[in-house]
Amino acid sequence: MDVTKILAELRQEREQLEEAILSLERLARGRGKRRGRPPAWMSTVKRRGRPPGSKNKREPNSKNPAPTKAAVA
């Protein structure tokens, strides 16, 4: 095992981790209310309301019309 090679790789990983931590801290700090369209990754993660395609899908069925109350005289 080459200890100097292992140390170099660990230092490189540490730098990458520090960069990731800094960017996450900036995101957490935020800038108040955001304006405009959310990023694409956010729209796939969180959806509110009805799922797509769940609206009333009652199609008029010409073969079996909905039963109506007949007036009895």
Rounded distance between C-alpha atoms, residue 5 and residue 1, angstroms: 8
Model pLDDT, residue 59: 60
Q: Which pTM does this prediction carry? A: 0.40
pLDDT category, 9, cuts 50, 70, 90?
Answer: very high
pLDDT at 73 over 90: no
Mean pLDDT of 43-53: 66
H/E element holding 20? helix 3-29
Question: Is residue 32 left, alpha or beta, with left meaning phi > 0 and alpha meaning psi from -120 to 50?
Answer: left
